[in-house]
Chains A and B, each alone.
Chain A
Amino acid sequence: MSEKTVIIKIDGIEIKAKAGQTIMQAADEAGVYIPRLCYLKDLTPHGSCRVCTVKVNGRYQTACTEPAVDGMEVENKTQELEGLRRDIIDMLFVEGNHFCMFCEKSGNCDLQAEAYRLGICAPKFPYLFPDRDIDGTHPDIFIDRNRCILCGRCVNASRDVDGKTVFEFVGRGSEKKVAVNADAKLGDTNMALTDKAADVCPVGAIIKKRIGFAIPVGKRTYDQKPIGSEIESKS
């Protein structure tokens, strides 16, 4: 029996989706890019960053968690939603210490790439310059919480893919941070360089040691084409 398909409209354009797919999955397959930060294919979506917020039949929903239902009218690339996304990105920049000029992830960073895509030249909110810690105790992996945007990708990857639960959130509000499941530091955990959790950080908060700046400027992932171009090229 063939899979049931549903028809949804994104910004007025009809696309086919398989029953059970989320709006994000259907949009990706149809070549429509919905901006995202915490979402990563193969990880359980949890809609925490809110960057993929779309309007579904007039109500705000996160595209990565909302199932596609027949007849849905989805708004994605509107002035209002782009403005809200810009605000989220702006807030993520001012709430951390994002010094792109010396970050190893620069050019391959999803946060930076979403900002580039939205044409952000400077955040409009005042910088907080929070006091965050770093953890270089692991022989192969480095944590710089100054750059962490609390997307939870490392938490999910470690729990669901690696089966280790190395990472977890602790604290609330501005005190919230990624912690490790050891009494002291990352070096005391069983995290390995080959773990999925070492690969999923969208920013430069969890990076592998000794491979930084391997790709020259101009050839990095987002140097020439905006994030999402590979999805949009399908349409």
Chain B
Amino acid sequence: MAKPKIATASLAGCFGCHMSVLDIDERILKLIELVDFDKSPIDDIKKFTGRCLVGLIEGGCANEENVHNLKYFRENCDILISVGDCAINGGLPAMRNNIPLKECLDEAYLNGPTVYNPSGKIPSDKEIPLCLDRVYPCHEVVKMDYHLPGCPPSADTIWEALVALLNNKPLDLPYELIKYD
């Protein structure tokens, strides 16, 4: 019987949660025996090759590409998990949420003290994804099935969650593994 598949994605995040996935250390060999990795920055598979059991989402939605990716994951994964604070509450990128987008872009590309931009233009190439008005947590864009809090969640948290789901058991994290920092 084919092994269940896992996919991962990093939206508006720092890849810290992916580092935490790698932090499960030698248990990753055990994980490879249990599952196959599908679309993920870890193996650089760009498109889903088939239906996935679990999708791990790091980061919130800060631009249209993030939203597109998240919806793509929702369509292709049975269980979708917000991994880390950026996916759950927008995290550090969400610090821009009470500043108008124009002010953010002006500061970044025109007015910032270290900015050198003789053209005086804000980048607007069609290759650059459009920024959203604010950073959205994943569950405000699509339905998320579980949340693993933390910045990043510890490797143990991710491991416990995966083992529970792969064994068809309820995801009931112990006190020590629920942390927001």
A-side residues, CB < 8 A to B, are 93, 97-103, 106-107, 112, 115-117, 119-123, 126-127, 129-132, 217, 223-226
Given contacts A106-B181, A226-B175, contact A97 B98 (CB under 8 A): yes
Which residues on B sit within 8 Å (CB–CB) of A98? 89
Q: Tell me the nearest residue of chain B to A132, going by C-beta.
A: B98
Q: Could you list some 6 contacts between A and B, CB below 8 A? A: A99-B91, A101-B151, A102-B92, A117-B175, A122-B82, A122-B147
Which residues on A sit within 8 Å (CB–CB) of B89? 93, 98-99, 122-123, 127
B175 touches A100 (CB 8 A): no
B175 touches A121 (CB 8 A): no
Q: Tell me the nearest residue of chain A to B90, going by C-beta.
A: A127
Q: How far is the CB of A85 from chain B (nearest CB, A)?
A: 16
Q: Tell me the nearest residue of chain A to B172, going by C-beta.
A: A119
A103 touches B149 (CB 8 A): no
A23 to B48, CA, bound (A): 57
Which residues on A sit within 8 Å (CB–CB) of B149? 121-122
Stretch from B29-37, B124-132, B134-142 that touches the partner: B134-142
Chain B interface residue count, CB cutoff 8 Å, equals: 27
B176 CB within 8 Å of chain A: yes
A116 to B149, CA, bound (A): 10
Q: Tell me the nearest residue of chain B to A101, going by C-beta.
A: B151
Q: How far is the CB of A185 from chain B (nearest CB, A)?
A: 20
| Interface of A: prevailing SS | loop
B173 CB within 8 Å of chain A: yes
Which residues on A sit within 8 Å (CB–CB) of B110? none
Q: Tell me the nearest residue of chain A to B146, going by C-beta.
A: A121
Q: How far is the CB of B162 from chain A (nearest CB, A)?
A: 15
B7 CB within 8 Å of chain A: no
Given contacts A100-B151, A122-B139, contact A129 B92 (CB under 8 A): no
Q: How far is the CB of A128 from chain B (nearest CB, A)?
A: 9
Given contacts A100-B180, A129-B94, A131-B98, contact A122 B151 (CB under 8 A): no
Q: How far is the CB of A5 from chain B (nearest CB, A)?
A: 35
Given contacts A99-B95, A130-B98, contact A121 B90 (CB under 8 A): no
Which residues on B sit within 8 Å (CB–CB) of A116? 175, 178-179
B180 touches A129 (CB 8 A): no
A-B interface, 9 closest residue pairs, ranked by CB to CB distance from nearest? A101-B151, A100-B180, A122-B147, A129-B97, A121-B147, A131-B98, A106-B181, A122-B88, A100-B181
